[in-house]
Amino acid sequence: MVYYILAFIVFLVDQGTKFLIATRMELREEIPVIGNFFVITSHRNSGAAFGILQDQRWFFIVVTIIVVVALIWYLQKVKDTPHKLLPVALSLVLGGAIGNFLDRALTGEVVDFVQLNFGSYTFPIFNIADSAICIGVALIVVETLLEGRREKAAAKIEGNEQHHE
């Protein structure tokens, strides 16, 4: 249950911040937070991450439903494992996916507002859901690498035990 609570918290924070941006700022309005490096910018995105696949609302809705069902199924499968990184990662992805899904289903676009500038380069504007998804995916990669190491260590121990018999 704790993993679903985590996903729900991600969803609530995402939706709350998007609501504040959508209701308190004009579209394209900017509020500098840390000079020109971190700027809150009211932006809408009808595509996927980084603005790709613009105006493909039904495609995203169908794909997200499939992904959410798969995430819940897999989370149920791994929630009782001794290593908690994977279920936490899946929870972050789940909460973020549902947050962006709700936006697309209701309005056909996602509210983005975090803008980071690195000199003359502006990173694509994103939101809390996008952040949770990216962090979750990164943690899945880390867990996969750690699991590979655990399997190698276990095989080495097993090999040593068989060698000593």
Active site residue 55: no
SS3 string, 2-61, reads HHHHHHHHHHHHHHHHHHHHHHHCCCCCEEEEECCCEEEEEEEECCCHHHCCCCCHHHHH
Q: Is 141 exposed, middle or buried (0-12, 13-18, 19+ CB in 10 A)?
A: exposed
- In the set 14, 55, 103, 130, the catalytic residue is 130
Q: Which amino acid is residue 137, in one-letter code?
A: V
DSSP assignments along 94-151, one per residue: HHHHHHHHHHHHHHSSEEEEEEEEETTEEPPPB-HHHHHHHHHHHHHHHHHHHHHHHH
Q: How far is CA 139 from the centre of its chain?
A: 10
Active site residue 130: yes
- In the set 14, 55, 103, 112, the catalytic residue is 112
* Dist. CA 163–CA 149, nearest whole Å: 21
> What residues are annotated to the active site?
112, 130
